[in-house]
Structure 1
Amino acid sequence: MADTSRRALRLLSLLATRRSWSLGALAARLEVSERTVRRDIETLRSLDYPVVTLRGPAGGYRLGAGHTLPPLRFDEDQALAVAVALQTAPTTVSGLAADTERALEALEQVMPVRLRAAVEALRLTSLQNYWEFPAQPIEASALQAAGSAVRRHEILVVEILGPDGTRTEPGTAEFAPARRIEPHHLVVWAGRWYLVGYDHADVAWRVHRLDRLHLHSPTGIRFTPRELPGGDLAGLVMRTHDRGDTPAAWECTGSARLNLPAETVARWAPGGSVVEHLDSDHCRLTVGAWSWAGVAGLLATFDTDLAEVEPPELVDACRRLVRRWQAVAGNAEPAAHP
């Protein structure tokens, strides 16, 4: 009976995807006999789904007008996938924020309580930025564990991983002991996932890259949510300098202060860059390339004034490029004016 029900639901979804299907095409897609397809069609009709029989040489079946799909059934992995896909879609395709929010709410209404809780655990805060080169994908288990801790207000025990994603060994200079965090928000910014919480070890609010954390087993210890400093979640994430972002490994890495807001630079900065919020109109961009001239060229793609350029090798490269471009401009013929 369970197999019959699953097959009938799949048949219904096939009929809803196109205007008509031949009997042979449906049997092939469902990997059953044509007789079984006929029997499943009668099952759908008994449930008041208007499956219309098309007569003639090109006959077949189609779903009639006025049909409605049954409540969707998801397992936990599917619920997680839907929640993440709907909430991260606006960061890659503009204009979908309102539609995806409505779609997520509609899906939650037809989910059992247990699965609705799993989706609610992944209610993310998107800062509506775009990133051409996002970080590596987050493990679904880590995302679900962090989201559940946020929703349940449960303390997390975490270890901060190295830039290469490995755990540091006790006795090494890089080793840092596990710490207890009160997780308050999951945030998507610049194509990366961040956990915003209150760190007991530092007695302060911290923003951590989720892919740079090793999450221990759930503690079950509840906490009372605190007031976010200034009430500005987006500002807290962008102003935090030690989010765990590190530039990619390049032959040359340099930085400069740009007269542009962090959210603008984050949209166009290449992968492996670090964008540091300074104020509403300025940020610091750290970027790498195979040469100092390459770093200077990347900085020049942002059509704005630069300041506090570091290190000295990058400054020298900028001077060399200036001389080269001056030579090009001096040898160029004046543009003809109509």
Structure 2
Amino acid sequence: MSDTTARALELLNLLQTHRHWPGPELAERLRVTERTVRRDVERLRELGYRIESSPGSAGGYRLEAGAAVPPLLLTDEEAIAMAIGLRIAASGRLVSGAETTLTALAKLERVLPSPLRRRVNALADAVLPAGIQAGAAVSSEVIGELALACRDHERVRFAYTAASGAATRRRVDPHALVPADRHWYLLAWDLDRADWRTFRVDRLERVEHTRVLFEPRPISPEEIEARVLAARGYLRTPAAAEIVIDLPLDRVREAFGPWAQGAVAEGEQRTRWRAGGHDWRDVMYACSWVPEGVTYRVEFGAGGPDEMREALERMLAAVS
């Protein structure tokens, strides 16, 4: 294989693995001049790959969808079979490797011509994996764009509708996509709020790529999991209660970490924290998180938690 051919293949691989490449960075990666990069791009275009170029300081190259599946990769039927398989794998809410599935799906669908993409959508809607309960509908285009932004560390903007119905425009550094409880969640650093935020992907739309790259902030897999679980727990649930804790808000946030989501100050020395779950046992478990020695009260809705009181009385009697 000639150096020119090897370099063209390396260039193609780079274009497929990132949404957008600045010209100088491509030249540095390939150890050639920017003029050589332009020539190699022209060679790939002659082979049928549609590569968009943009001038200026923020310019560069990106791989576009073509009129046909790019040559030497997959036949139409192979591309359709692979895309459907990836769709089903993603809808299965994989415990690990979910982002890999999504980025592979996004990469494939980005180069599929429109007729093949329509066939994939139609077949994927008709073929569902056994035993999987569907969550809220999620746009494959939105989740694919977010997966690429997480992988490439690219800042994005999007419209978001909260559970309350409030609509906002968010500007974030996306970090991870996480499947949980039949839904997809995006964990991102919210630039306007200067803090981590978790977004339900089905409530998110109109993703805009800024082409601004960011340095990822350190966060452990355990904290990612805790923040997503906390976001799930903050949903309106049948056994909702509010725990009024005799601690300032900053101390509650320090003690509860991401589980302090939704906590609000009630005066300088007291915090109101919403807790709940599928039944009163989840509320009782939430109470156990209050730091030792700190007094608090629990406020339920009308009628009060009779089952919880009865269970606690029996526990006290058993311990005594």
Per the normalisation by structure 1, the TM-score is 0.40
Greater share of residues in helix: 2
Per the normalisation by structure 2, the TM-score is 0.42
Structure of greater Rg? 1
